[in-house]
A and B are shown apart, each in its own frame.
Chain A
Amino acid sequence: MIICIIGFIDVQVQDILRERFCRQQLPDRLEGVEAQHKHLLELLKRTAVHGESNSVLIVGPRGAGKTMLLKCVLRDLLEEKEAQKNLLQVHLNGLLQTDDRIALKEITRQLHLENVVGDKVFGSFAENLAFLLEALKKGDRSSSRPVLFVLDEFDLFAHHKNQTLLYNLFDVSQSAQAPVAVVGITCRLDVLELLEKRVKSRFSHRQIHLLSNPTFPQYLERVRTQLSLPDRFPDQEFCQDWNDGTLCEDKSVQDVLQKHFNSSKDFRSLHMLLMLCLSRVSVSRPAIRPADLLEASRLCFTDSKANMLHGLSILELCLIIAMKHLNDVYEGEPFNLQMVHNEFKKFLQRKSNSMYNFEQPVIMKAFEHLQQLELIRPVDSTAAKTQREYQLMRLMLDHSQIMEALQKYPQCPTDVKQWAMSSTELKETFWM
């Protein structure tokens, strides 16, 4: 029975926090971007209420909360009856609407203009453009419903041919037609340089920068709020315990968080970390412990390439080491299979006592496998004419990654390890 209740509570906790970490639930209040929130809200409100056309760009690094800011603003805006009844919204994404033709169809569809039947938009590209422009032109400031265009990944729209869509949207926003608000979201700081001069002139040059610079204590506070359960949580006692948790006071936890903070300050990476912690919470362990956080952090920071090395056969690993040696000797010049094979043979002759020579085809097969894993890549992909043995390759790994992998490689022969280390030491002594 008790387990049952605890199980229920656990599900609740998971629900609430996962929703928060997956960004499905908007925060009630934005932190650190109140000014931007106000600016954007005012701007959109003027469009919705006064019918004033506007254009604005929201610029900020990835994970800075640009979309969240816009969503919050829209949520607050739509609380107003006047705005809610009037505002039409069109959401476009540069990754989805890869050219103006698709974008136009999508706009027409979302506006439910009259050439839309069901979910299909009829007419050619030119007709659609003419139709949309005509529709917008017919409107005027006071009588038509304002339209909000949200262009996610705005910079990608700037790569469309002639920037026709942007020109027209901005042109509408600068002329006495149907009121529109064009909100572009981008992470590129140089986005204005992408705009063609006529398009640029029509853009209002309003940019909202989301460049927050929280200090570490603020960051800790943010972690705390992100992890806290809301007051409306059914089991008050549990909620109390959970929220009183002293996770953030732990030294090791603070170290881990500091490391994360140093790496990046954005929400998204933090949520990733916390999500990993949360998934370790279960009925038997109803709280996040420092160990969970450490483990999660370790997972976050693992090197993916080094992980891949663990799955290689010993021959492939030997080839990698041979390549590393070649890189050391030739200062990063590219190599081919023959060179690697020779290097490997040298090792076999001189130092090896656990390894034996392999047939050329076997070596070739291992080499191709490494290429498929993209641990090595050909210098120029066009050189397909040359025989595969002589095709020049580059190693895609850093030395540190190889060494790290070797340390962790299960049952790695010591002579191989030594071979790998030897040249490193040699090099280091050479440098000294």
Chain B
Amino acid sequence: MKYSSRLRVRRVYRWCEEPLSFNRKLKTHEYRSLAISVEGLPRTTVIKTGQHILIEGDDEDNPYVAKVVKLFSDESGTQKKAVVQWFARVSEVPLSKLKLLGREPHPQEIFYYEGRSCDDEVNAESILRPVQVKHLDGAAPFPDSVDKDTLYVKLSWDSKTFRAVDSALVEQDRPPCPKPSLPPSPPCSPLAAAPGSRGPSRRALPTPDLAVLRRALSGEVRRGRATMSAGKAGAAEAESLHSATKLSASKCLSAKRRDASARTPGVRKKLELSGPDNKSMICDDVLSQLLDDELESEVTFAQRMSSSPPQATPLTHSLTPLRKAHRAPAAEGAFPLKPAAIVLSKSSLSEMSPPSAARDDSSRELLDKSPQRGDVTEAGLPNGSVKTPRRRNGTPRRNYLTSGQKATTPSRKKEPKTLKEPALGVLAEVDNENSPMLPVATTPRSSKRKSAQLVSSRIRKQLNLLENQQDLNSDGEDEDEFVPSKKELQSSSEDDEDEAALESDEEVVLKKGRHAASGPRTPRSKQKTRSSTRTPRKTPNKKITPGTPRTPHRATPSIPSRSLPARQPANVLEEARTRLHVSSVPESLPCREQEFQDIYSFVESKIVDGTGGCMYISGVPGTGKTATVHEVMRCLQHAADVDEIPPFHFIEINGMKMTDPHQAYVQILQKLTGQKATADHAAALLEKRFSNPAPRKETTVLLVDELDLLWTRKQNVMYNLFDWPTRRHARLVVLTIANTMDLPERIMINRVASRLGLTRMSFQPYSFKQLQQIIMSRLNKVKAFEEDALQLVSRKVAALSGDARRCLDICRRATEICEHSAAKPSATGLVGMSHVMEVLNEMFSSSYITAIKCASVQEQLFLRAVIAEFRRLGLEEATFQQVFVQHQALCRVEGLQPISVSEGLAVCQRLGACRLLLLEPSRLGVLQRVRLNVSQDDVLFALKAD
């Protein structure tokens, strides 16, 4: 799903008709469809409510997916807005949560988004193009169709869990009897809301392109392929503004005020028939297309026919009468909605006939209750915002808005809200099928599934008129899509390997992709159409195999699991040992309450405000810096889970866990999006992500551990890390951890230190009371230690370093010693002073003295000779030759046979290997200089004790 960012097409967004309704309270005009056209060309793509669309976001390859719920503009008509129901792509779901899925997500899978954190109001100018979205049953496999243009929905995602989603929610709602607010005909009577006043000035506008226009026409059918770059900046700005309103109360208020002032009551035009001019225009299009594409199969023709709604009008006209006769009884019985639908269908035949035709089916469907219908449906003509309540739950204000609107439309409105039975959805789907524009395009693709085939065949029977075309279409379509796709698969896999070899090539490939993507806009040649199908296919592929480019197959990092389960602790001491292990996460972190509170409130405020910031945390090792931050994150995550604060995204990097400071970019990007890229590319992507506004952005909390290792000569890594949070749209909170308190002053250049800011925190080493408390809380009433023993440990550690890890390690070792000595019946079974003393001796006593005591006679003599020579020279350094003379003399004194020089060198080397002596490289032989690594007193003490 690439859209060209290079080939920027200047797009114009217009309302297709007069506003449907006017909301007095909010002063908004509501519209039913939006026409996107490329400047200078007559053709347009029409986006209607209920249709699935792609909305441009920060990831070029994966624009956001959403369904249009409502289209409206403010009073002046300058601001075009759309209320959408979001869908989350796989890449948007945090990696950690993907695990909940319990299976590999399909690359084209999307999730019905039920989270509350995202503003559902977007700037209409960020709409790229329509897309096909199909609902799949939970158990149903993903169709192995190679059509990469279609996205599949199985589950909903509310930022915490996945749930099965009702097909009705997903499918294009073509409300059986559209509310008056949804004018059925999509005439492109342009409201021409002064293009200049909108986005254009704000962004680089696309150049008019004939191909694009054609594409736009056929866009309805090939929605998935149609690519348009919309006004990014403008749209996104507006969007972020909206999302911001959600989060900060003050902003919310101001926004409300603004809205109120902006909207004035207006005329609500109910149902508008497709204007003649509009029709003629479309006819022209068709004609021109037909002329252009003489070579193209009928398929495309049919598609085009179906895709451009007005075209279909004649067909539906002829259909309608037949249909009406059929459906009336059943449908009416099934739905109270029907009357309205009929009314509508009368008023706008072109639109209404399909639904009416569908009614039949839908009633049958109801009986069948085959939920797979979802597969069959496709994005068609978007109609009412049937699903309002569900979609809206995030923004009460919006909700209000829509419902207010709906209040004007009589019966129709409420039904969708109340009726959430699948039937409605099914009905809507079937409508879609029957509607002239869709079935042609959709049925064939989905026809691989049995139920879908059934349905389509049924439909075909009914739609006698269309039948032939459809058949042709389906065949043609299949060929058209399938064959090239196979090739494409191969080539893309090859490509993948190529890319693997040269990661840097990725850019080039991307460009190629873009190039290809631009192809589809000219439907003239088949090849280009193919290339269009090709591009989208490619991108997901890349997505799936993002990583380990040189790895021949996708490797999952894992340690094999053990065949026998780990044994559980059997006695008190073992239990205590398990609890005292540094790795065991305690229920709460004692002794860091103040620090916890500070960090918590800092991060929380940033999340709630939707702003960014930096914090620097310092402290010597083992004082609980990382643990506290993790604890804060756990608590915040919990708060987010229970909706106290908006959800956020927590990622963590560690300077020690990367091979090079620039790998930080790679890791951040990978944890954020799952993408893999080279360091430079990742930096560019992140830069873009954090500087560009996006409609749906959760706050990202980034923990940078061991910050000092990210130091580079230019300090660009640190600079970027601290610069991003200051960006307006970044919503990034950076917590940095390092050991030294004055790190910013010592190693950072001014512009970096300045960006880090002054929010600093220092973790003091634990005092003995705190250490004691930590042990106690870990033990949690497991009685394994004597009071005195605990106190001894904590006092000793507090005096030395205040390192909690050391403290826990000592305790753990003490339990071991206690266990071994517990064989004696006299022992109480508790860890006592003696055990702790033993451990302290083991860990803290220097081994040098023991080593000297255990050395051989000659080695001891040599040490003595060294000291003697030092004393003679008055220096702390001597050559081996000098020491050896002393050594020979000492040997004679001791009555030992003098050793040879080789032997003496060997003795010297042995002492050097233990680092009792410090030696020069041994190639210097007798000339090498010798120094002592222990104090002379220690040596003499050790030798005397003999």
A-side residues, CB < 8 A to B, are 38-39, 42, 49-53, 59, 61-62, 82, 85-86, 88, 100-101, 111, 113-115, 117, 122-127, 129-136, 138-139, 141-147, 162, 164, 167-168, 171, 173-179, 187-190, 197-198, 200-202, 204-207, 209, 211-213, 259, 261-265, 301-306, 332, 374, 377, 394, 396-398, 400-401, 404
Contact = CB atoms under 8 A, between A and B. Distances in A.
Residue of B660, B855, B900 with highest tally of chain A CB at under 10 A: B900
Contacts of A265: 854, 856
Contacts of A263: 856-858, 899, 903, 906-907
B806 A205 contact: yes
B578 A52 contact: yes
Contact of B706 (A86, A124, A198, A205): A198
Interface in B543-579: 547-548, 550-553, 555-569, 574, 577-578
B916 A189 contact: yes
Given A135-B559, A143-B562, A306-B901, 20 more contacts: A39-B816, A52-B578, A61-B855, A115-B555, A144-B558, A144-B562, A168-B657, A174-B583, A174-B805, A187-B914, A200-B621, A206-B842, A211-B853, A263-B858, A263-B903, A264-B856, A264-B907, A306-B900, A332-B881, A377-B927
Interface in B898-946: 899-903, 906-907, 910, 913-916, 923, 925-927, 933
Contacts of A39: 816
A77 to B, nearest CB: 14
Contact of A123 (B551, B584, B853, B858): B551
B200 to A, nearest CB: 43
A293 B815 CA distance: 49
Interface in B848-883: 848, 850-851, 853-859, 881
B884 interface: yes
5 contacts: A50-B568, A53-B583, A100-B659, A188-B913, A189-B916
Contacts of A133: 657
Contact of A213 (B559, B805, B854, B914): B854
A209 B559 contact: no
A213 B566 CA distance: 39
Contact of B927 (A131, A264, A394): A394
Interface in B809-852: 809-810, 812-813, 816, 820, 842-843, 847-848, 850-851
A305 B563 contact: no
Interface string B661-700: 0010011001000000000000000000000000000000
B582 interface: yes
A85 B564 contact: yes
A42 B864 CA distance: 39
A304 B903 CA distance: 9
Given A50-B567, A117-B552, A162-B656, A400 B559 contact: no
Contacts of A400: 888, 900-901
Contacts of B903: 263, 301, 303
B266 interface: no
B483 to A, nearest CB: 33
Nearest to B801: A201
Contacts of A204: 809, 812-813
A201 B858 contact: no
Contacts of B842: 206-207
A201 B621 contact: yes
B557 A304 contact: no
A126 B622 contact: no
Nearest to B817: A39
B931 to A, nearest CB: 13
Nearest to B803: A201
B739 interface: yes
Contact of B559 (A52, A144, A168, A303): A144
A61 B659 contact: no
A211 B566 CA distance: 34
B900 A301 contact: yes
Nearest to B879: A332
B581 interface: yes
Contacts of B914: 61, 187-189
Given A52-B577, A126-B660, A301-B903, A143 B561 contact: yes
Nearest to B813: A206
Contacts of A38: 820
Contacts of B556: 114
B557 A132 contact: yes
B709 interface: yes
B658 interface: yes
A133 B585 CA distance: 19
Interface of B: 547-548, 550-553, 555-569, 574, 577-578, 581-585, 620-622, 656-660, 663, 666-667, 670, 706, 709, 739, 803, 805-806, 809-810, 812-813, 816, 820, 842-843, 847-848, 850-851, 853-859, 881, 884, 888, 896-897, 899-903, 906-907, 910, 913-916, 923, 925-927, 933
A212 B901 contact: no
B706 to A, nearest CB: 7
Contacts of B577: 52
Chain B CB within 10 A, most for which of A101, A132, A135, A261: A135
A401 B558 CA distance: 61
Contact of A53 (B581, B859, B913): B581
Contacts of A117: 552
B806 A115 contact: no
A299 B817 CA distance: 47
A202 B900 contact: no
A207 B706 CA distance: 27
A141 B575 CA distance: 14
A126 B658 contact: yes
A82 to B, nearest CB: 5
B560 A303 contact: no
Given A197-B739, A201-B805, A164 B659 contact: yes
A175 B654 CA distance: 14
Nearest to A161: B659
Contact of A168 (B656, B843, B926): B656
B881 A398 contact: yes
Contacts of A401: 900-901
B915 A188 contact: yes
A212 B663 CA distance: 47
A207 to B, nearest CB: 7
A175 B581 CA distance: 9
B902 A138 contact: no
A144 B901 contact: no
A304 B559 contact: no
A209 B584 CA distance: 28
A128 to B, nearest CB: 9
Given A138-B558, A265-B856, A302 B583 contact: no
A401 B901 CA distance: 7
Given A122-B550, A171-B656, A262-B857, A88 B915 contact: no
Contacts of B896: 262
A264 B561 contact: no
Contact of A305 (B565, B666, B854, B902): B902
Contact of B582 (A164, A174, A187): A174
Contact of A190 (B561, B658, B925, B933): B933
A49 B574 CA distance: 13
A303 B659 contact: no
Contacts of A212: 854
In this complex, which of A86, A111, A138, A201 has the most chain B Cβ atoms within 10 angstroms of its Cβ?
A: A201
Nearest to B911: A61
Contacts of B739: 197-198
Given A126-B659, A189-B916, A264-B858, A134 B557 contact: yes
A396 B688 CA distance: 66
Nearest to A213: B854
Contacts of B581: 52-53
A342 B847 CA distance: 53
Given A132-B557, A264-B910, A175 B552 contact: no
Contacts of A396: 925-927
